[in-house]
A and B are shown apart, each in its own frame.
Chain A
């Protein structure tokens, strides 16, 4: 197994649904051994991109290769290496959970019974319940178990934790970290709950309107922006007087909190020393970085939402 070779390669992929350009020339490599966070507003093309990776959608132009095979031609051998949790979590509702597990299990020779038993105990899954009678959260737990039960090399999770309670979300994230301990595994997780995602991801892909805004390591992303607190009693901070481009500035008498690119931090420290300001710098969390990126790219959350709704 060549660990250095990308398992998914997307080249200039475009997809249009009627008037909506869902994906617009997306190019991307997914490498092994990462937990990749696929982030973006509703309708930005995350699910469409994931569905191209497993060949459910066919591209209008460009292409997608998964495990070295054209995604639209994936056969049982390749698909048996991919676990996928669908956003809507569609399952065979008329079956009991136990029956459903037995059914999916029958496809795979390498079903991990031990993992299944641990998962069922940890997540308190009722095996006798009909799948259709489960709550949305319980359904998602079953869907995740069905996707991880055969130890897939590539695990694609499309909003897997949205229906889970905080406790179950915590357990779920621990589970992801356990899965990724095997260096040959790769997880792509699309989620809106950024505070959860940032605990596990080591690579981030941020999308906006069918395009990729950022595709980089999470640490690299965290290094892009910084929050700086400037303090001096009685000082009125003025944006124009600052020697750096500021993403946002909040100020009260004697204090200013600015967000700017981290490359500007040295200049601010220098200015602070010259003007006797107290300068404190701290890293942004993922949610803040996401907001900054969206603002930087000329679209407020309200505008983006309006675009999605229209």
Chain B
């Protein structure tokens, strides 16, 4: 089988790609809008497809090169350049055809314009391939460039289209130069040496709990530079508690599990705070532009907008990926009953930490809200500005309300990658809809308490079934 054929087979053999095909399919409606506004075609979907396709192709190639055995296979030290180029060309030719149908002009002018559109597509495609190929860790500088390109495509796609119309030959020239550079760069042996035998989390196996665990632990290990033999304060505190418990009892096991859970969270605590703060700032400005939406007869203003509550819902996705200490990673003297109790204990500890962190961030953002600058709204009404809006502190209840759902999904489907692939987006959408429903129903504190107790009860039942009647061997910590 040729290298090209082997690479093409990946496109239908790798189940991890199916989710991304759905994302690519979601771009297709933008092509229908070409017919609506033929004089000002929307090119954003075309650019997105190229970015996503570049990402998939680069990830496939990285995945192949990271397998140690491929290093010695003939022709495999070089990236599948022909494969990368062929996919890019075919993709761009196919997706540029709808533009031909809506554009007017002389044949030569039309041809040049079409070449310009294909060229900008190829430029995006190659940028995506190269950025993703260079980013082995998350977050990374090349990954940041990829993200910037992705976000800016939404804002500047019409400007780009106007530029293509004005100077199509300029884009053709740039694409030719880029192609030559990419051909040489992709053909370097050094890629294979860099990637051979490495473990990294790919877009195709983001849902692989076992691989995610290995990569996470590896990254944590690299980050912890202090290899001194002196125990830290957390270790001293918890281990002394363990030893204080008389004999080998459930109390000792629980303190032990508490230690491993918190010891994993601690190094990521500040990263999580900074990450959440960035997201709050982003959403705070994104939804602070005086937007209002109507839901039925009711107008929901910006302060009530459930989208701002994304901040409180995001930890649910994290909870889904969290591997509870119920699997056999290390045989500590914890029986099934102890594993069940420590599973609840860990979930409560994580939820408490997440809720307190979000509460602190919400309070902080409320305090700085009056001092945050207004940003000119370049894409809206001339002279308009965007204000920063802090998330509502009172909505912090969403975190303890919804976190058990994440834990329950993770416990039920943690070992089924295909389910986890779609469970994340689905639970996210469900949480958003649930939040909107809560707002519309104007639920009171009593109902919230009942609902929170209900979600925790569901989690306890799921965990109990798992710990008492399922195999405990599987991806562990």
Binding site for B on A (CB under 8 A): 51, 54-58, 72-80, 82-84, 86, 90-96, 98-99, 102-104, 106-109, 127-133, 146-147
Contacts and interface: CB of A to CB of B under 8 A. Distances in A.
Given A56-B473, A104-B330, A76 B253 contact: yes
A159 to B, nearest CB: 15
A91 to B, nearest CB: 6
B231 A99 contact: yes
B465 to A, nearest CB: 12
Given A80-B248, A94-B264, A103-B259, A133 B242 contact: no
A129 B336 contact: no
A56 B334 CA distance: 11
B252 to A, nearest CB: 6
Contacts of A77: 248, 333
For the side of the interface on B, what is the size category?
A: 35 or more
A96 B221 CA distance: 9
A94 B214 CA distance: 10
A93 B235 contact: no
B471 interface: yes
A132 to B, nearest CB: 4
B466 to A, nearest CB: 12
B297 interface: no
16 contacts: A51-B328, A55-B336, A73-B336, A75-B335, A79-B334, A82-B331, A86-B329, A92-B330, A93-B214, A93-B217, A93-B218, A102-B231, A103-B260, A106-B239, A106-B252, A107-B332
B333 A79 contact: yes
Given A74-B336, A107-B332, A147-B331, 15 more contacts: A51-B328, A57-B472, A76-B252, A76-B333, A82-B331, A83-B331, A90-B476, A92-B217, A92-B329, A93-B217, A104-B330, A106-B239, A107-B248, A109-B247, A130-B224
B227 A130 contact: yes
Contacts of A82: 331
A130 B221 contact: yes
Contacts of B387: none
Contact of B248 (A76, A95, A130): A76
A58 B331 contact: no
| Pairs A-B, 4 closest by C-beta atoms | A93-B217, A79-B333, A84-B331, A132-B221
A157 B407 CA distance: 33
B473 A76 contact: no
B227 A129 contact: yes
A277 to B, nearest CB: 52
B323 to A, nearest CB: 11
Contacts of B332: 79, 104, 107
Interface in B203-243: 214, 217-218, 220-221, 224, 227-229, 231, 235, 239, 242-243
B337 interface: yes
Contact of A127 (B229, B247, B328): B229
